[in-house]
């Protein structure tokens, strides 16, 4: 077996494991024969361990053969010759994707092991693991994507599973509402992503990263675009990345996402999916090189988000929100690093941060225990000494800063009351106008115009 074949087999194995897992878990519950807890957790273990071993093997082989770029294609799925369009599923293994996919497998594996005990006897056990498998598949596909369409497919899987897991406890209203909010923000990000994809296709005639970014394995590579084209596509991708990574002004969804069971909060919003935006920028980093303005935009957005998130993290009184904003701070700094062209540092930062935050979030319910231990070790109350902040900054300014941080930068209010509300109002107005108009044409009185809510719950007219 030649190395190429071996790479092909292993590469397909990495993708096949989560795909098979999702298929088995999903189909078994779809056909009404859900697996039992033990079986599900065994299958998950098996899939994650196999996938992890395969990806580690690829890493080892790459190091041995000193190859830096391996492509595994699944062929063209759609070719429109006249339009010069082809739709390809292709996976690449390079210095960016291999560490990221290993990280995904490791953290998902640990979280899966955690969840299999934590969710024991929970009615949604099966649902959780189906969504978990979907998430894992999304992460793997996104990490390994060799074309922008492939990346988009993985991106969507991650988004869908995340939103559904936020609303995991769907018998209560708040998780569902917050899940919907996450989903809405994701839609905005996805729309930007989709436009960027189309633009790329239009500009380069294909979504292939290798073709797009020029030859050379990551992180070398030259964008085959002009500076202005790169700026346009890059800004769209930046919006997509900001939505996914909860940067300003989308930050509101991140603390709200802490509605699901602790393990899913840990893996998704603390560790993996929140870093996807940064990953996207890393993947298209040649674009950044092509446009200085784009780099500046990334740095600026990262800086603003980092400062905001660091402030917000300081006023959170509940452990999960505090960790959410702490995560956001680091993700923003990673954006700054990417903007500055420090790609390896950004990658190391992502990996370290994801591991640390997962551990912290999984331990979150132990907080009181830990505080108690720390108090005992110190031999008294934990020091609440006045910080630099309290000593130096004047009171009115501190109060303002507190309010800004406490209201989470007002971003939720701004988006909801000053962007979404006028939008909805406009369309409600249009709806009303249309009804009037159709009523006029139909010759009905205008008072019938609003049958949105049927009157009466009294149906004593069952005869």
For another protein, the binding residues in 159-218 under the rule CB under 8 A are 168-169, 172, 174-175, 178
Closest approach, Cβ 273 to another protein, in A, equals: 16
Q: Does 387 bind another protein (CB under 8 A)?
A: yes
**Nearest CA to 285 among 238, 333, 350?**
238
- Binding to another protein (CB under 8 A) within 79-138 occurs at 106, 110, 113-122
Output phi, psi for 70, to 5 deg: -125, 130
* List 92, 280, 298, 354, residue binding another protein (CB under 8 A): 354
Task: Give the span between the Cα atoms of 238 and 241, in whole angstroms.
Answer: 5
Find the shortest distance in angstroms from Cβ 50 to another protein. Answer: 17
Cα separation, 333 vs 381, in Å, equals 33
Considering only the stretches 81-89, 225-233, 289-297, 390-398, report the one whose residues sit in contact with another protein under the rule CB under 8 A. 390-398
Using DSSP's 3-state secondary structure scheme, residue 85 falls into strand
Tell me whether residue 282 is exposed, middle or buried, using C-beta atoms within 10 angstroms of its C-beta: 0 to 12, 13 to 18, 19 or more.
buried
Q: Is 463 in the site for another protein (CB under 8 A)?
A: yes
Report, in Å, the least distance between residue 431 CB and another protein.
Answer: 16
Q: How many other β-carbons are positioned within 10 Å of the β-carbon of residue 237?
A: 28
Per the listing, tokens 């205008």 go with 446
User: Residue 187 or residue 425: which is nearer to another protein going by CB?
Assistant: 425
- The mark string for 240-279 relative to another protein (x by CB under 8 A, - otherwise) is ---------------xxxxxxxxx----------------
Which helix (H) or strand (E) segment holds residue 88: the answer is strand 85-93
Of residues 366 through 385, those in contact with another protein by CB under 8 A are: 366-384
Q: Is 4 in the site for another protein (CB under 8 A)?
A: no
**Least distance (Å) from another protein to the CB of residue 417?**
5
Q: Cβ contacts of residue 239 below 8 Å, gap of 6+?
A: 188, 189, 192
Cβ atoms < 10 Å from Cβ of 389: 10
- Of 90, 95, 201, 320, the one binding another protein (CB under 8 A) is 320
Contact call for residue 365 and another protein (CB under 8 A):
yes
Cβ(144)–Cβ(170) under 8 Å? Answer: no
Q: CB–CB of 225/290 below 8 Å?
A: yes
- Minimum gap (Å) between residue 164 Cβ and another protein: 15
How many residues of this chain interact with another protein, rule: CB under 8 A? 111
CB of 65 to another protein, least distance (A): 25
Which residues have CB under 8 Å from 106's CB, separation 6+?
A: 52
- 42 sits near another protein (criterion: CB under 8 A): no
Q: Shortest gap between Cβ of 264 and another protein (angstroms)?
A: 9
Q: 393 Cβ partners below 8 Å, 6+ apart?
A: 401
Helix (H, G, I), strand (E, B) or coil at 121: coil
Query: What is the nearest approach in angstroms of another protein to the Cβ of residue 289?
Result: 24
Q: How many residues does the chain have?
A: 463
**Positions 410 through 429 that interact with another protein (CB under 8 A):** 410, 413-414, 416-418, 421
Tokens of 295: 């780099």
Within positions 431 to 460, which residues make up the interface with another protein, using CB under 8 A?
455-460
Residue reference for tokens 């905005």: 188
């Amino acid at each position: 077996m030649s190395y190429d074949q071996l790479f092909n087999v292993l590469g397909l194995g990495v993708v096949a494991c989560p795909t098979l897992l999702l298929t088995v878990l999903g189909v078994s519950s779809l056909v009404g024969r859900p697996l039992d807890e033990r079986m599900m957790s065994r299958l998950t273990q098996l899939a994650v361990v196999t996938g992890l071993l395969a990806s580690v093997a690829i890493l080892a082989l790459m190091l041995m053969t000193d190859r830096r770029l391996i492509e595994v294609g699944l062929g063209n799925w759609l070719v429109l010759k006249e339009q010069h369009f082809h739709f390809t599923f292709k996976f690449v293994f390079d210095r960016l994707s291999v560490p990221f996919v290993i990280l995904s497998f490791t953290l998902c594996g640990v979280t899966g092991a955690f969840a299999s005990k934590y969710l024991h006897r929970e009615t949604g056990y099966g649902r959780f693991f189906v969504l978990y498998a979907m998430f894992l598949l999304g992460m793997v596909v996104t990490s390994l994507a060799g074309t922008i369409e492939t990346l988009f497919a993985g991106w969507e899987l991650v988004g869908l599973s995340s939103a559904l897991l936020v609303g995991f406890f769907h018998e209560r209203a708040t998780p569902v509402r917050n899940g919907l909010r996450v989903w809405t923000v994701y839609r905005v990000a996805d729309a930007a992503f989709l436009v960027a994809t189309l633009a790329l296709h239009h500009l380069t005639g294909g979504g292939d990263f290798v073709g797009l970014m020029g030859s050379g394995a990551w992180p070398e590579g030259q964008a085959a675009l002009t500076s202005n084209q790169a700026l346009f596509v890059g800004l769209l991708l930046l919006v997509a990345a900001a939505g996914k990574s909860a940067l300003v002004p989308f930050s509101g969804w991140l603390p709200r996402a802490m509605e699901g069971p602790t393990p899913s909060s840990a893996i998704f919003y603390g560790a993996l999916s929140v870093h996807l935006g940064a990953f996207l920028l890393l993947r298209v980093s040649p674009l950044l090189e092509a446009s200085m303005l784009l780099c500046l935009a990334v740095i600026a957005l990262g800086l603003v988000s980092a400062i905001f998130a660091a402030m917000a993290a300081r006023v959170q009184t509940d452990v999960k929100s505090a960790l959410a904003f702490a995560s956001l701070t680091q993700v923003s700094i990673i954006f700054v690093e990417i903007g500055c062209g420090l790609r390896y540092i950004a990658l190391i930062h992502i990996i370290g941060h994801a591991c640390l935050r997962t551990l912290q979030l999984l331990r979150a319910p132990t907080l009181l225990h830990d505080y108690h231990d720390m108090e005992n070790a110190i031999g008294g109350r934990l020091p609440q000494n006045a910080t630099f902040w309290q000593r130096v900054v004047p009171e009115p300014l501190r109060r303002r800063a507190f309010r800004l941080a406490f209201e989470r930068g007002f971003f939720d209010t701004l988006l909801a009351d000053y962007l979404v509300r006028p939008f909805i109002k406009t369309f409600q107005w249009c709806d009303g106008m249309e009804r009037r108009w159709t009523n006029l044409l139909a010759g009905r009185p205008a008072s019938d115009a609003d049958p949105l809510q049927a009157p009466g719950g009294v149906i004593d007219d069952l005869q």
